Amino acid sequence: MSNNDETYYREEVHNLTQWRSRNNFILNTSKTKKLVPSPPQPEQSTFRRIRRSEERAPFPIPGLAADILHMRVKEGSKIRNLLRFATARMQGEGEDGGATAARQVVFTGLGRGITKTITCVEILKRKVAGLHQLSKLCYMTVNEIWESPRQDVAGRTVARTVPAICILLSKDPLDPQELGYQPPQTLGVPTEEAARRGDLLRTAGSLSSLHTAKRLCLDDWTGCPPKI
């Protein structure tokens, strides 16, 4: 706010309230905090981070087994590597060919790794059918150690609190009353619109029908036949 003008602030609060209503979220005002950014220090640009560690906190999902398959997703993690390992464990495809299939897997990610975590979960649910899902949001503390190349300047340790997500996928049924529960995905029955699109794609022989089929593919790429 500048010159004690709260117009912009009140507009942002109004927009947040409208967004909350549209997405069925509840604002917990008892946990709302006012953040006052501190001005950068003159010598801050000379520091470089040498170490970063995460405080190991218990899972926000109660009742998990101690030996549960845990996939930690980081910002630089490769999705294909994570999914290759998780899919093999969930399907019982070990290196020796005789591994027991895992019943549950939990994905965790924090900060910029949250989006990649959700992507891994959605792809795995399509690879392994019938998975129950339970999602929880939480906060984790990240400790960063910074040092300066100058000998007369002491190093610094910065503790940051970042948002995190924890998603459990289970072959066994979960409590449907638990907040954040999602039932297994079911294959939808073909609708009249899907059948119409399929007929148009199958009869796409002429130039005009090919143009129509291409237009349908752009509207709904899931209905496009694979290229041969």
Mapped onto helix, strand or coil, the DSSP state of residue 214 is helix
Rounded to whole angstroms, the Cα distance separating 122 from 127 reads 9
Rounded to whole angstroms, the Cα distance separating 60 from 110 reads 13
Using left for φ > 0, alpha for ψ between -120 and 50, and beta otherwise, residue 61 falls in: beta
Compute the average pLDDT of residues 157-183: 91
Whether pLDDT at 207 is above 50: no
Q: What's the pLDDT band for 166 if we cut at 50, 70, 90?
A: very high
Among 86-90, 134-138, 142-146, the minimum mean pLDDT is found in 142-146
Using left for φ > 0, alpha for ψ between -120 and 50, and beta otherwise, residue 130 falls in: left
Question: What integer pLDDT is reported at residue 221 of this predicted model?
Answer: 47
| Pairing relationship of beta strands 181-182 and 132-147 according to DSSP bridges | antiparallel
pTM (whole model) above 0.75: no
Rounded to whole angstroms, the Cα distance separating 185 from 131 reads 8
Report the C-alpha dihedral over residues 95, 97, 103, 105, rounded to 10 degrees.
Answer: 20
Under 8 Å between Cβ of 169 and 70? no
The CA distances from residue 158 to 39, 50, 109, 147, 198, in Å, are: 15, 12, 20, 11, 58
Provide the token pair at 114. 């949250």
**Amino acid, single-letter form, for residue 166:** C
φ/ψ of 101, rounded to 5, equals: -65, 135
Q: What's the pLDDT band for 94 if we cut at 50, 70, 90?
A: low
